[in-house]
Amino acid sequence: SACSSRVVLSQMHPMWQEPLEVPGGERQSPIDISMRKSIFDPNLKPLVTQYDPRTCQQIWNNGYSFLVEYDDTTDKSTLRGGPLEDQFRLCQFHFHWGENNSWGSEHTVDRQLYPAELHLVHWNADKYALFEEAVVEENGLAVIGVFLKVGKTHEGLQKLVDALPAVRHKDSVVEFTKFDPSCLLPESINEYWTYAGSLTTPPLTEAVTWIIMKQPIEVSHDQLAVFRSLLFTSAEEEAQKSMVNNFRVQQPLKGRTVRSSFT
Ligand SMILES: Cc1cc(=S)c(O)co1
Ligand SMILES: [Zn+2]
């Protein structure tokens, strides 16, 4: 079964109606990453991703983004190392993007916006049995964030882009298999920032160890245009709304430290 983010997502309030009352609210995401204020931590280990493309199952338009969902019932696609003490299982990846190439990312680096941001969502399988247990626990999730910038066509992404018209409407699902998400990671995955934060969509739980890649990946303008051809609305609804600007506004750092794995 793909990670049951549908359980979490289906209880959500309509997206983007900020501010949602958040329990505590001391470690919310996204944030601006100030390069000069981040602290180099020489003890941060290399990140170890082991993704098995055979665990890729489907693409689901959940009315907020499109999720590429993985079978997370075994330890076949995992993340460990970096700032993490435990082994985490990949359950889904998705993106946040804008209506044009000027904005769309959730995190920024020295206030620089990117047109989109990839999130690879993993949950702590050493400590919890299911995603929806982990999603409410302090060290339950680890999300790798990768910035997208406009440039040459991303060959690996094209297989996903070609499948998106099949999930144009909210609640549509299409089978999608044998996709290795490591093709979406930049060459140098060991240059990253890490900090303690939250989901950026309701329930906004403060369960996430964020690992934000310094190096963006390049995708073409046309590939991003296909993201923007998706709809927030289901096929039954009258007014169709383009799925764009599905990012959250930046949140206060509240004294948190952002560590870097590089100098
Ligand atoms: C679980 C999850 C994580 C993120 S970051 C998101 O946007 C939606 O759902
Ligand atoms: Zn996200």
CA distance 230 to 95: 12
> For every one of its 263 residues, what pLDDT tens digit does the chain have, with 9 covering 90 and above?
446 444 344 333 334 556 555 656 899 999 999 999 999 999 999 999 999 999 999 999 999 999 999 999 999 999 999 999 999 999 999 999 999 999 999 999 999 999 999 999 999 999 999 999 999 999 999 999 999 999 999 999 999 999 999 999 999 999 999 999 999 999 999 999 999 999 999 899 999 999 999 999 999 999 999 999 999 999 999 999 999 999 999 999 999 999 999 99
Instruction: Indicate which atom in ligand 1 lies nearest the CA of residue 29.
Output: 5
CA distance 97 to 117: 7
Pocket residue to mutate for ligand 1, from 200, 206, 245, most atoms within 8 A of Cβ: 200
Q: CA 141, 144, 146: angle at the middle one, nearest 5?
A: 155
Cα(54) to centroid of ligand 1, in Å? Answer: 22
SS3 218: strand
Torsions phi, psi of 5, nearest 5? -65, -15
User: What global pTM score does this model have?
Assistant: 0.93
Pocket residue to mutate for ligand 1, from 119, 132, 204, 209, most atoms within 8 A of Cβ: 119
What contacts 255, CB < 8 A, 6 or more positions away?
Answer: none
Amino acid at 188: S
Query: Which residue minimizes the CA distance to atom 4 of ligand 1?
Result: 199
CA distance 119 to 25: 21
**Ligand whose nearest atom lies closest to the CA of 29:** 1
